[in-house]
Amino acid sequence: MPSNKSVSDAPIVQFTNCRILRNHQLQREDLWVREGKILNPEKLFFDEKGSADIQLDCKDSIIAPGFIDVQINGGFGVDFSLATDDFKSGIDLVSQKILSHGVTSFCPTLVTSPPSVYHQVLPQISIRNGGAHGAGILGAHLEGPFISKEKKGAHPEHCLRTFEEGAFQDLLATYGSLDCVRIVTLAPEMKRSSEVIQELTKQGICVSLGHSVANLSQAEEAVQHGATFITHLFNAMLPFHHRDPGIVGLLTSDKIPAGRRVFYGMISDGIHTNPAALRIAHRAHPKGLVLVTDAIAGMGLAPGRHTLGQQVVEIDGLNTYIAGTKTLSGSVATMDTCVRHFQEATGCSVETALEAASLHPAQLLGIEHKKGTLDYDSDADFLMLNDGLYVQATYIAGEEVWRQDAL
């Protein structure tokens, strides 16, 4: 047998007996991995005359790209909006634990906080690849404080801010630095928001519209200036009205610049959005739907009192409220639960449900050439799932980082 060492000495792993999600379809073929990347087997056979060093039988599992969570506030007792001395160990714990939910990369999310919190926390968030230590960090999602008082949801009112003269400088002073920031959620009806959206977009930061009372034309203007995302659609925004559908109207707007797609986050936990609303959004704009958990520190813990930034929240079953109120404050849903609920609620295909948690968030962040697909040369971050979409194993860069039966 000719050696396959002509290109690289790294071992080649062949995953057999599986159905791979590729080109929007589950295809019965093998997955080939080397040095953390997905290989094209034809090139391997014909150009390198190579073969597999290791074969793994997947026992008819589905192989799908790893999930990407672009809105997660914490979990397992860790709150990303609390400035603590051991913040790094907290983020490490969450990134380790969410491997079992199929999440291979995420954007740690901070809710509205005083500037001192951003100044302390953001320097401690570093963009990094995933591995056995946990899911990769794609950059921070800053949700607030430039949001609407009327739609603040669980965000503390005393920390909310508006854009003053020199709006972008104002934002920089509040956050301290944008080095590790990937997404900023703001309310587009705020004065001077257009210049802020343009400046953030210029710096490669994704602008999301949320916690807002914007009408449709304000939302469309924000998109024309570069906004590409909607934070948890239907939650913390004006309800859909037929004469002015508000931000929700972006899903079917004809004022979106050519070649641009608006994405929208959905918390598919059976609580934040009625299944009928989930179906309406999905049918109106299926290619823009991005599943997010919006999970808080209480995810993975017993019911009771936990924090979300400056607020105390109470977990009652799957409901999370600001203590003493009926205001929803984040969720305790896991990403794999959201995928299953989404598929069940909409009756969509398995492929569609999986792509809403992998391909779409990757497209939103402009990293679909590396993550969110199983295309050749992309990162070998993937999951093995059974037909019920329960995660059986999680792989990052081709290495197994979590397995169900290892528990």
Three-state DSSP at 214 gives coil
Cα separation, 259 vs 302, in Å, equals 45
Asked if 181 and 139 count as a contact pair (C-beta separation under 8 A), the reply is yes
**Residue 26: DSSP 8-state:** E
Q: Is 306 marked within a binding site?
A: no
At residue 21, the 3 state secondary structure works out as: strand
Q: Of residues 69, 79, 269, 294, which has the active-site annotation?
A: 294
**111: β partners:** 143
Q: Is 122 annotated as a binding residue?
A: no
272 is in an annotated binding site: yes
Q: Known binder of ligand: residue 143?
A: yes
Contacts 24+ apart (CB under 8 A), 164-169: 164/192, 167/192, 167/193, 167/195, 167/196, 168/195, 168/196, 168/199, 168/200
What are the two backbone dihedrals, phi and then psi, of residue 395, each rounded to the nearest 5 degrees? -120, 140
Q: State how far the Cα of 295 lies from the Cα of 272, in Å rounded to an integer.
A: 12
Alpha carbons within 13 A on the beta-carbon side of 401:
31
217 is in an annotated binding site: no
Contacts of residue 407, defined as CB under 8 A and 6 or more positions apart, other chains included, come to: none
- CA–CA–CA angle 55, 102, 313 (5° rounding): 165
Contacts of 403 (CB under 8 A, 6+ apart): 392, 393, 394
In which residue are the tokens 């607030």 written?
144
User: Is the CB of residue 184 less than 8 Å from the CB of residue 208?
Assistant: yes
387 catalytic residue (yes or no): no
CA distance 377 to 123: 32
Determine if residue 232 is labeled as part of a ligand binding site: yes
- Using CA of residue 394, residue 388, residue 332, residue 68, what is the dihedral sign? positive
319 in a known ligand binding site: no
Give me the amino acid identity at 267.
I
Separation CA 1–CA 186 (nearest Å): 60
What are the binding residues for Zn(2+)? 143, 211, 232
Task: Give the active site residues.
Answer: 294
What are the binding residues? 143, 154, 211, 232, 235-236, 243, 272, 328-330
What are the binding residues for substrate? 154, 235-236, 243, 272, 328-330
